[in-house]
């Protein structure tokens, strides 16, 4: 009786161990992967079950999940040969830990096959990672479709000031992310916007060049003003996503890393004229050409008038100085000529007058008679006594 109970206990133990092994090595059976926040199934074509393309795809996704050498959050692999070649990219947000990144990529590998069965191309997005695969080349190519967005419905306090802060912040972060290396193109930062502070991240797949990354982020930021039925612009938080790049902003910090507090942007200038929409890219050169054609001749005419006025004024000034010099010379000549003569005459005339009245009186001869001007009395001759 005792011996008959031993096989039963052994069989129970074997079943228990087998069930434990299944639970440990097949986590997908115990817990389903979370849903993508956004996903897209490409309509370029379908693959058949048990086809070469499916085997290549399964092998590629399995390699992504098991690769422990990659610790920078960017996976890019290819498996197979044309026309059954599969290319895949998985990208984690640049500030997450390695174990969090690998877990997210592992979930995306399973989920993408679930939401896009038998599709030859697909794109799925989680909050901390994204994955895409295709039968065409996707490495070093800017892929801007599809475009996804999410937005917080709450409005900011000052739309103009907030948008100005966003533009300043994304310009700085875009340049920083684009200058990254082949392992990571990611940047975070913050900017004051009046009574609010905006925090943001930008990211490109590292297989893009600096110019490709900058262009992708710029086009994504411009999309904010004319997309999404007005659900993005003026909101306290939003996320814009494309396969090759993405950006996000919030009024609270949501990423890991240090912050730099920057001064708030200057208040917008108040103008009585209504603001005009920015000219289209194709008309900028024509507008600049019209401005140059209009302004340059006007400036040249003004400069010519100024030069003529200065020339006339200088000529008159010189003529005036020349006349003044002549007048001064004539005055000096008159003074030099007349004054000494006047002094000479003033001295000579008195002297001549004095000399004239002090000369002895002269006799005047008239018809042979002599007489003085003053007659004298005739006295009888004196007798001389002997």
Q: What is the pLDDT of residues 74-126, one digit of tens each?
A: 999 999 999 899 999 999 999 999 999 999 999 999 999 999 999 999 999 99
DSSP secondary structure, 311-362, as one string: HHHHHHHHHHHHHHHHHHHHHHHHHHHHHHHHHHHHHHHHHHHHHHHTSPPP
Whether 315 maps to a domain, the answer reads no
With beta carbons less than 8 A apart as the criterion, state whether 135 and 85 touch.
yes
C-alpha–C-alpha distance, residues 133 and 108, integer Å: 11
179/106 same-domain check: no
pLDDT for 161: 94
- pLDDT confidence of 355, banded at 50, 70, 90? low
Whether 350 maps to a domain, the answer reads no
pLDDT at residue 367 tops 50: no
The pTM assigned to this predicted structure is: 0.60
82/44 same-domain check: yes
Give strand pairing partners of 151: 238
Residue of higher predicted confidence among 106 and 21: 106
Of 9-23, 91-105, 119-133, 282-296, which gets the smallest average pLDDT? Answer: 9-23
pLDDT at residue 310 tops 80: no
C-alpha–C-alpha distance, residues 156 and 251, integer Å: 9
Residue 73 CB partners (closer than 8 Å, separation 6+): 91, 92, 93, 94, 96, 98, 101, 129, 184
Nearest 5°: the CA angle 89, 91, 92 is 160
Residue-number span of the structural domain to which 196 is assigned? 148-267
114/179 same-domain check: no
Of 131-140, 188-197, 313-322, which gets the smallest average pLDDT? Answer: 313-322
The crossing angle, in degrees rounded to 10, of helices 159-178 and 210-222 is 160
Most confident of 56-70, 248-262, 307-321: 56-70
DSSP class of residue 82 equals: T
Helix H or strand E segment including 41: strand 38-41
Whether 34 maps to a domain, the answer reads yes
89/186 same-domain check: no
C-alpha–C-alpha distance, residues 39 and 116, integer Å: 9
With beta carbons less than 8 A apart as the criterion, state whether 104 and 111 touch.
no
50/125 same-domain check: yes
Whether 18 maps to a domain, the answer reads no
End residue of a domain, out of 267, 282, 308? 267
Whether 82 maps to a domain, the answer reads yes
Q: How many CB atoms sit inside 10 A of residue 52's CB?
A: 15
C-alpha–C-alpha distance, residues 153 and 150, integer Å: 10
Question: Considering only CA atoms, which of 202, 189, 54, 209 is closest in space to residue 116?
Answer: 54
Whether 157 maps to a domain, the answer reads yes
C-alpha–C-alpha distance, residues 216 and 209, integer Å: 11
pLDDT for 380: 47
49/130 same-domain check: yes
Whether 349 maps to a domain, the answer reads no
End residue of a domain, out of 93, 110, 134? 134
pLDDT at residue 226 tops 50: yes
Q: What tokens were used for 191?
A: 């900017």
End residue of a domain, out of 224, 252, 267? 267
Instruction: Determine the 3-state secondary structure of 381 from DSSP.
Output: coil
155/259 same-domain check: yes
C-alpha–C-alpha distance, residues 264 and 252, integer Å: 16
pLDDT at residue 188 tops 60: yes
215/119 same-domain check: no
201/127 same-domain check: no
Average pLDDT over residues 196-201: 96
pLDDT for 207: 95
C-alpha–C-alpha distance, residues 384 and 386, integer Å: 6
Number of independent structural domains in the chain: 2
248/173 same-domain check: yes
167/209 same-domain check: yes
C-alpha–C-alpha distance, residues 260 and 197, integer Å: 11
127/220 same-domain check: no
* Mean pLDDT of the chain, nearest integer: 76
CB-count exposure of residue 344 (10 Å: 0-12, 13-18, 19+):
exposed
CATH at 258 = 3.30.430.20
pLDDT for 190: 95
Percent of the chain clearing pLDDT 90 (strictly above): 49
Whether 102 maps to a domain, the answer reads yes
């Amino acid at each position: 009786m005792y011996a008959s109970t031993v096989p039963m206990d052994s069989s129970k133990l074997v079943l228990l161990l087998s069930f434990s092994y299944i639970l440990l090595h097949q986590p997908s059976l115990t817990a389903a992967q979370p849903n993508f926040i956004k996903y897209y199934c490409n309509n370029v074509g379908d693959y058949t079950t048990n086809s070469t393309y499916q085997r290549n795809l399964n092998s590629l996704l399995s390699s992504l999940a098991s690769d422990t050498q990659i610790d920078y959050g960017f996976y890019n692999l290819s498996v197979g040969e044309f026309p059954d070649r599969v290319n895949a990219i998985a990208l984690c947000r640049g500030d997450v830990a390695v174990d969090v990144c690998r877990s997210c990529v592992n979930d995306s590998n399973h989920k993408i096959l679930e939401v896009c069965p038998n599709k030859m191309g697909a794109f799925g997005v989680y909050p901390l990672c994204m994955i895409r695969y295709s039968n065409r080349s996707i490495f070093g190519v800017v892929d801007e479709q599809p475009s996804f967005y999410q937005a917080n419905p709450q409005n900011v306090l000052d739309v103009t000031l907030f948008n100005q802060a966003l533009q300043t912040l994304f310009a700085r972060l875009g340049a920083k992310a684009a200058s990254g290396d082949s392992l990571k193109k990611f940047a975070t930062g913050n900017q004051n916007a009046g009574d609010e502070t905006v925090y943001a991240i930008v990211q490109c797949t590292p297989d893009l060049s600096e110019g490709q990354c900058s262009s992708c982020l710029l086009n994504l930021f411009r999309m904010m003003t004319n997309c999404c039925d007005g659900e993005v612009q003026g909101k306290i938080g939003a996320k814009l996503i494309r396969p090759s790049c993405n950006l996000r902003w919030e009024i609270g910090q949501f990423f890991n890393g240090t912050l730099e507090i920057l001064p708030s942007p200057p208040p917008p200038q108040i103008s009585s004229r209504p603001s005009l929409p920015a000219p289209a890219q194709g008309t900028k050169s024509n507008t600049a050409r019209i401005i140059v054609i209009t302004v340059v001749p006007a400036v040249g005419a003004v400069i010519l008038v100024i030069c003529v006025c200065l020339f006339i004024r200088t000529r008159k000034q010189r003529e005036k100085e020349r006349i003044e010099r002549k007048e001064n010379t004539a005055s000096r000549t008159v003074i030099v000529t007349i004054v000494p003569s006047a002094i000479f005459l003033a001295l000579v005339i008195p002297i001549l007058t004095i000399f004239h009245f002090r000369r002895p009186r002269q006799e005047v001869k008239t018809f042979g008679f002599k007489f003085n001007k003053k007659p004298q009395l005739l006295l009888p001759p004196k007798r001389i006594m002997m």
